[in-house]
A and B are shown apart, each in its own frame.
Chain A
Amino acid sequence: MSSIYFIALPLLFGFAVPILSRFGKNSVAYSSAIMQLALLYLAYSMISMPNSVVEVIAINPPLGISLVANKVSVAFVLLFTLLMSLFSIYYLDIRRTKPYKDENKFFILINMLLASAIGLVLSSDIFNIYVFFEIAGISAYILSAYEGSAKAYEAGIKYLITGMIASIFLVFAIALIYIHLGSLNLAVLSERFMTLPSEMKLLISMLLFIGFGFKVEIFPLNFWVTDVYEGSSTLVNGLFSSIVVKAYLFVFFHIFYLFIPSGEYGSFLVMVGAITMIVAETVALKQTNLKRIFAYSSLGQIGFIFSTLTLESSSAVTAAIFIVIAHSIAKLAIFLTITIIEHSSGSVDISTLRHIKSPFVVTIFIVAMVSLLGLPPLLGFTGKFLSLKSFAVSAEFLPLTIIIIASVIESVYYFKLVGLLLDRESERKPLPTSLIQKSILSLLILILVVVGVAPWIISPYIDQASHMMLDNSLYISTLLGAGK
């Protein structure tokens, strides 16, 4: 099967929505979910392929654009399609009571978001990556302003402005790369990038760092994130935190490993990640809005993943992929749970947690938070343990200390929330949850528990994936050897 379907089908769906909407009120919603399930099946069937597959578009690389489906990119594609299809099924339930206005446009936007996140992961051409960067950006700006309230517009405009600044830096970097290296293909650039004079290399690296830094949400370029999370609707936050940021993180490190295999700026980046984590966790302590708390917690986790990935060892990459999977699943579960709370009480203040009476929701919330915190036997533990181990092996003790302190701070506000959820003194009202909501949330939590107890289900695959992510010569030979 061809990996182009991951991008072509959501785009086709987006363009065809006006036709589909003529077949009835529910046709767009159902066909969107069905298409995403088909993509999930396709991604699942690609997991077992033995070698990397290069999908050539129009002309052969290095001149043409091509998509590379190897172990690591397929793992991300599978994660994105899984989360997006669960999200869509969940939304099928939500829309019966609280649909978005102008729903067809919402379906166009989430499918464009899916196509571009997958495109960022699969593409092997730096300008093509920029195009997907823009599609993901613009659909995210509109999604955050979607509710049409003053807060939502504020979020949308903030996102738009920072996104545009990021684009300027990125496109300038790509222009310099093209002028000096004469190619846009990542394999060719990987061979030539180290031949640049050191000043030019530094300038391009800085521009790429700033351009992607806004989107990857690292300190000090992440000041806008929490406002965007606060203004956007809670459902959409789940997508931002579990899909969009992960795609940007992947593409940042994909480019970083290919361009700078010697790890030249590693010691700088590892501190950037650690500082991102401790600043975010400290600020999260004071927050009283659930959406803001989990936005800061996302920033903290991203800082953690970021500094783990800069270690550039295969055990660290394995650890980072584990954290990415655990964090995406747990954060989606948390934001979907907050949606239920928000719809019944109309508020996202932490005090609402004292007034819910639903053992199911409380359990989901606590298990997801415990996994985020990295306690056994949940999936979050595997990643955190492996990551701390690889920090110790690489003898990076300063970032290790900062990360451990930040984790302690993180546990303070998580346990504050747990305390509110389990407070016996307060009056509680039952929280209705439908069957579909229950099954989706249980499925997410089940993955966290089962894979957490038995990480060896996926760890051989992730080991191969992390070797592949660091193996530049393999990537170059598969990409440049492709052709028909």
Chain B
Amino acid sequence: MNLKRDVAVQTYSGLGLSALLAITILNIMLHNMPQSVKRAGEKLLEINSQDGVANAVTTVVVYFRGFDTLGEIAVLFIASLGIGLVLSSHSEHHHKVESSFILKTASKLLFPIIILFGIYVMVYGHLSPGGGFQGGVIVASAFLLLLISHQDFELSHSVISAFETLAGVSYVIIGLMGLWILDNFLGNFIPHDISQMGMLVSGGIIPLIYIIVGIKVGSEMSMIVQNLLKRSDNE
């Protein structure tokens, strides 16, 4: 068809838009905008202590904006599903190259340590930096190590799927329980006394949700990594 004309039209309109944007930004710089930066974070910090969680970032991510986090989980879920769908349509035949003895042994040694570290980051998300997203990715990296060092290692699809289903369903159920008990979706219905702040068991549903997020992220990321690796094996 008229590919050439289409490309030209799109290029010109793109250039036009970029020029407009550039002029606007230049205009802002020339007028020396007043630095009227408002801080919403401080208000969030003020009410943070109500929930008895030592790490304020976790309170914001998991509780105050927990609905966004549920959305992010859904984004990751469908992204992983999409990768599985696009890549599974190709036939699988692996060519196996034996990895070196050193790599194999080292990865076996490292695997439990990385998993343990990942779980620690997940479980202590409400006390120290880290949390479900980070912990989940660490766990997935342990599986990545096994996948690249052991050619015949394969994650069981049904086990991973069981984990991710369990995590996703329980996230929404916890949210709905808040709705039924406190009339507030994702409300903190488990007792969370401020005197417990800093303890492992504190903060009500917040650490629970972060662990769920960790399980979900870990299983999704492991599946994505496996799908991508199997794909690159074929070529």
Contacts and interface: CB of A to CB of B under 8 A. Distances in A.
A99 interface: no
Contact of B10 (A12, A138, A207, A223): A223
A14 B165 CA distance: 9
B78 A63 contact: no
B185 interface: yes
Given A19-B165, A145-B86, A58 B63 contact: yes
Nearest to B26: A199
Given A112-B78, A179-B37, A183-B40, A65 B65 contact: yes
B67 A58 contact: yes
B162 interface: yes
Given A63-B44, A148-B89, A56 B71 contact: no
A102 B88 CA distance: 10
Interface stretch (A78-86, A127-135, A349-357, A369-377): A127-135
A18 interface: yes
Contacts of B82: 138, 141-142, 145
A395 to B, nearest CB: 28
B133 to A, nearest CB: 15
A305 to B, nearest CB: 22
A194 to B, nearest CB: 14
Contact of A138 (B43, B75, B168): B75
A135 B176 contact: no
B200 interface: no
Given A4-B179, A206-B20, A58 B168 contact: no
Interface string B145-163: 0000000000000000110
Q: Tell me if B's interface is mostly helix, strand, loop or mixed.
A: helix
Given A141-B82, A197-B31, A223-B10, A131 B36 contact: no
Given A11-B172, A57-B186, A141-B82, A2 B179 contact: yes
Nearest to A196: B36
Nearest to A101: B89
A253 interface: no
Contacts of A19: 165, 169
A181 B88 CA distance: 46
Given A58-B66, A138-B82, A139-B78, A63 B172 contact: no
A272 to B, nearest CB: 12
Contact of A180 (B36, B77, B165, B185): B36
B74 A16 contact: no
A8 B175 contact: yes
Interface string B58-102: 000001111110111011011101101110110000000000000
Given A65-B65, A102-B85, A199-B24, A8 B185 contact: yes
Contacts of A183: 38, 40
Contacts of A135: 71, 74-75, 78
Nearest to B182: A484
B30 to A, nearest CB: 9
B222 to A, nearest CB: 16
A484 B68 CA distance: 21
Nearest to A153: B86
A405 interface: no
Given A58-B186, A142-B85, A15 B21 contact: no
A15 B78 contact: no
A146 B33 CA distance: 48
Nearest to A17: B165
B47 A59 contact: yes
A200 interface: yes
Given A15-B171, A18-B161, 15 more contacts: A4-B175, A8-B172, A11-B168, A15-B165, A15-B169, A58-B66, A105-B81, A109-B78, A127-B68, A138-B78, A142-B81, A182-B40, A183-B40, A199-B28, A199-B31
Interface of B: 6, 9-10, 13, 17, 20-21, 24-25, 27-28, 31, 33-34, 36-40, 43-44, 47, 63-68, 70-72, 74-75, 77-79, 81-82, 84-86, 88-89, 161-162, 164-165, 168-169, 171-173, 175-176, 179, 183-188
15 contacts: A8-B176, A14-B74, A14-B168, A15-B169, A16-B165, A55-B185, A58-B63, A58-B64, A115-B74, A132-B71, A134-B71, A142-B85, A179-B38, A210-B17, A484-B183
